[in-house]
Amino acid sequence: MESKKSYTEMMKAAAAINRKKSAERSVMEIYIDMVLHESILMTQKTKLLTDIDAALDTKDKVLFMKLTKELNELNISCG
């Protein structure tokens, strides 16, 4: 005997598969967002540190203070 699924059973199975794929996509999107955010944060920190070094080299106290304040704010807000 062949076991045939009803239309309702097939639609329920398809819906369950779609929910699972949607959840997997959501997790992947969150992971991608985290990776991008971390990359942007590290780039900002690296640039600030390079600029702080340059301000120290040129003995520019005003620029040094401004940049270190930005770096501290970035560290407080993003860790």
The rounded radius of gyration (Å) of the Cα atoms in the chain is 26
CB 64 within 8 A of CB 56: yes
| Residue 42: closest CA among 31, 50, 32 | 50
Q: What is the DSSP string of the chain?
A: ---PPPHHHHHHHHHHHHHHHHHHHHHHHHHHHHHHHHHHHHHHHHHHHHHHHHHHHTT-HHHHHHHHHHHHHHHHHH-
pLDDT, tens only, 24-37:
778 888 889 999 99
With 0.85 as the threshold, say if the pTM is over it. no
Alpha carbons 39 and 63: distance in angstroms, whole number: 25
pLDDT, tens only, 39-58:
999 999 999 999 999 999 99
